[in-house]
Amino acid sequence: MSTQAKYKTEPMKLWKKAKEFKTNHFKEYHDAHKNGKLRFLASTALSISMHSGFENAVIMGAEPFAANVAFWKDFGIKAMEICEARGMSRELCGYSKCVWGAEFMNQNIMPAGTMLDEWGKPDFASAFSLAPCHCKWFQILCENSDTPMYLFDLPKAYPYNDENLVEYMTGQTLACIEEAEKAVGQPFIDELFIEGVKNEIKAYDMWTEIMLLNQAIPAPMDEKTMFSFIVPNLTRPYDPATYEFMKELRDEVQDRVDRGIAAVGNEQFRLITDAIPPWPALEIYRYLEREYGAVVVGSPYVICLCGCWKFENDEGDLIPTPTPMDLGMPMNTREETAKALCWYRSHFSTETPYNIACGEVLHELTLKIAKQWKADGGTLHQNQGCTMQALGGLESRNAVAEAGIPCILYEGNDADSRDIDMTNMKRKFDIFFEANNVKRLTK
């Protein structure tokens, strides 16, 4: 434990375990066929646990897959270039180009940076219509690799508790299960599915507890660290080990809050952001912490990504959505479980806030988070690699700034490092902090 001028700080005990979790999962996915298992590639919006009824499935979240490609800059650029050579516009979704790129090159990269000589063709793929291109992403991916797929339609998930929506989503979930059974030629075991969904709900609910703890001053976690902890929920939410991990994490974070352990010892300015970070340039977080004691305490992205939330009474603060189990929703059959899952996940979770056509509530959500997580300022990522997230960015910035919380937008890209200009990004932050009288901590 080291002492800083302002707060005590210590590394997260579970960080190493989180890293191992990720590495092991990527390896398991890559080696699935060798080990007689199936590979499922699923967009992390709603459909991971949908496949948990397949006993032999290793399910990879498409977004963690893509983010990993983006993180490894050189490989990421190759992925971009091969897509562009095939006529894909540079403006297209960065994540889709990461995965297509891996597919076109038939290569992949592990979290530790080891190159793989095949990209990991799935046996089945599924995606949700989060953004204009999510389902098109998978359509192209599966056309090129001849992969059977099921693409879900998620029309509009707000206001909550829309019966028509839940019925529609449930029907699609059941249809997906049947399609997947036919495609992979293996039975879908309802008991595994029910258990998997319950585990997911519990793990997601636990994440909301953890996120709420980060409202504490000093913040026990910084957002960059949180990115390591979201992986289990995004890749194996159905696994009981994930829920156990989340409980451990909650306990550790609670302990840090109780003892006043900070993520950033010199925390003097709390920031929120909004969207997927610039994965090729995560060092910007450490720049903010080191130079200005500025800690990113949360964002609609990391808070909602693997937790389910709602506005209390549709007007008030952001609170965790009660779970189906809390509400006594039956989950004894495939149909009941599918319905409960769709109901639960149709609240603000993963990218549903963005799917809600950005402008309806995203700015309000961002402002609520800024207030509830006690932010002193906002630095929102105008993410060129993701229209879905960036489109509402200005309105979010306006809402936060008009509420008296200084807020800027900075340009970047979640996947394409060629769009990232670190010099100018740092300069923008320097100006922001100077304008807000935040003392620079280094000479």
Partner 1 sequence: MAEDKKEYFRWVESTYVNPDIDWKKAEIISAGIDVGSVSSQMCVLCDGEIYAYSNTRSGSSSPNSAQNAMDLCLKDTDGLKLDDIHYLVGTGYGRVNIPFCQRAITEISCHGIGANFMYGPTVKTVLDMGGQDCKTLRLNEKGKCLNFLMNDKCAAGTGRGMEVIAEILKVPVTDIGDRSFDIDEEPEPVSSTCVVFAKSEATGLLKDGWSKNKVLAAYCAAMAERVVDLLNRIEVEKDFAITGGIAKNKGVVKRIEKLIGVEALEPKMDTQIAGAVGAAIYGRALYKKQKK
Partner 2 sequence: MFEKFGEILENRHEYAREWKKRTGGKVVGFFCSYAPEEPLQAAGILPVRIIGGHKSSDKVGKFIAPNIGCSFCRDALGRGLEGDYDYLDGIVQGQTCLHTGEAFWVWEKHLPVEFSYFLAVPHSTQNVGREKYLAVEYAKFKKALEEWIGKEITNEDLDRGIDTYNTNRQRIRQIFDYRKQDNPLVTGTEALDLALSGQIMDRNEHNQLMKEVLEKLPDRQMDRDPGTRIMIIGSVNTDREFMDMVENQCDLPATIVIDDTCTGIRYNFNDVNPQDDRLMAISLRYNHRPPCPNKDWPRRRRIPFIKHLMKAYNVEAVILFNHKFCQPHQLDNAVIERELKAMDIPNLTLEFDIRIPIGQFRTRVEAMLETTMDII
Which stretches of the chain bind partner 1, using CB under 8 A? 81, 84-87, 421, 423
DSSP annotation of 58 reads E
Give the whole-angstrom CA distance, residue 301 versus residue 401.
19
385's contact among partner 2, partner 1, none, with CB below 5 to 8 A by partner kind, is none
Q: Which of 376, 438, 379 is nearest to 403 (CA)?
A: 376
Q: CB of residue 85 vs partner 1: minimum separation in angstroms?
A: 4
Closer residue to partner 1 (CB): 87 or 404: 87
Closer of 181 and 421 to partner 1 (Cβ): 421
Q: Whole-angstrom Cα distance, residue 358 to residue 393?
A: 9
Residue 340, amino acid: A
The helix/strand count (H/E) of the chain reads as 18, 15
Among partner 2, partner 1, none, residue 81 binds (CB under 5-8 Å by kind) = partner 1
User: Based on CB atoms, which residue is closest to partner 1, 83 or 142?
Assistant: 83
Rounded to a whole number of angstroms, the minimum distance from the CB of residue 119 to partner 1 is 20
Q: How far is the CB of 36 from partner 1 (least distance, A)?
A: 39
Q: Binding partner of residue 395 among partner 1, partner 2, none, CB under 5 to 8 Å per kind?
A: partner 2
90 by Cβ neighbours in 10 Å (0-12 / 13-18 / 19+) ranks as middle
Cα–Cα distance between 167 and 256 in angstroms, integer?
A: 42
Q: Which residues bind partner 2 (CB under 8 A)?
A: 86-89, 91-93, 129, 131-133, 135-136, 138-140, 142, 149-156, 164-165, 167-168, 171-172, 175, 354, 357-360, 382, 384, 387-388, 390-395, 398, 409, 411
Q: Which is nearer to partner 2, 237 or 300 (CB)?
A: 300
Lookup result for tokens 């009824």: 53
| Cβ proximity to partner 2, 178 vs 283, nearer residue | 178
Please choose which of partner 1, partner 2, none residue 253 contacts, taking the beta carbon within 5 to 8 angstroms, the exact cut-off set by kind.
Answer: none
Strand partners, 9: 2, 262
Nearer to partner 2, 233 or 384 (CB): 384
357 makes contact, choosing from partner 1, partner 2, none, with CB < 5 to 8 Å by partner type, with: partner 2
DSSP conformation class of 310: E
CB of 435 to partner 1, least distance (A): 22
Least Å from the CB of residue 400 to partner 2: 14
Nearest to 419 by CA among 40, 171, 80: 80
- In whole angstroms, the minimum distance from the beta carbon of 75 to partner 1 comes to 17
Q: Tell me the C-alpha distance between 194 and 203, whole Å.
A: 14
SS3 category, 381:
strand
For partner 1, which is the closer residue by CB, 182 or 427? 427
Distance in Å, CB of 133 to partner 1, minimum:
20
Count of Cβ atoms closer than 10 Å to residue 102 Cβ: 26
Q: Do 203 and 237 meet the contact criterion of CB atoms below 8 Å apart?
A: yes
Question: Rounded distance, CA 223 to CA 214, Å?
Answer: 10
Minimum gap (Å) between residue 136 Cβ and partner 1? 20
Contact 415, 73 (CB under 8 A): no
What is the spatial distance between Cα 422 and Cα 420, in angstroms, rounded to a whole number?
A: 6
Q: Residue 46 CB, nearest distance to partner 2 (Å)?
A: 14
Taking the least distance from each CB to partner 1, the nearer of 152 and 410 is 410
Distance CA 45, CA 48 (A): 8
Comparing CB distances to partner 2, the nearer of 7 and 128 is: 128
Q: Is 393 helix (H, G, I), strand (E, B) or coil?
A: helix
Q: Which does 299 bind (CB under 5 to 8 A by kind): partner 1, partner 2, none?
A: none
- Contact of residue 373 among partner 1, partner 2, none (CB under 5-8 Å per partner type): none
85 binds, among partner 1, partner 2, none (CB under 5 to 8 A by kind): partner 1
Total count of residues recorded for the chain: 443
Partner in contact with 129, chosen from partner 1, partner 2, none, beta carbon below 5 to 8 Å by kind? partner 2
How far is residue 412's CA from residue 283's CA, in Å, rounded to a whole number?
A: 13
- Compare residues 91 and 312 and give the one whose CB is closer to partner 2: 91
**Under 8 Å between Cβ of 271 and 376:** yes
Q: For the CB of residue 93, give the shortest distance to partner 1 in the complex, in Å.
A: 18
Q: Classify 48 as helix, strand or coil.
A: coil
388 binds, among partner 1, partner 2, none (CB under 5 to 8 A by kind): partner 2
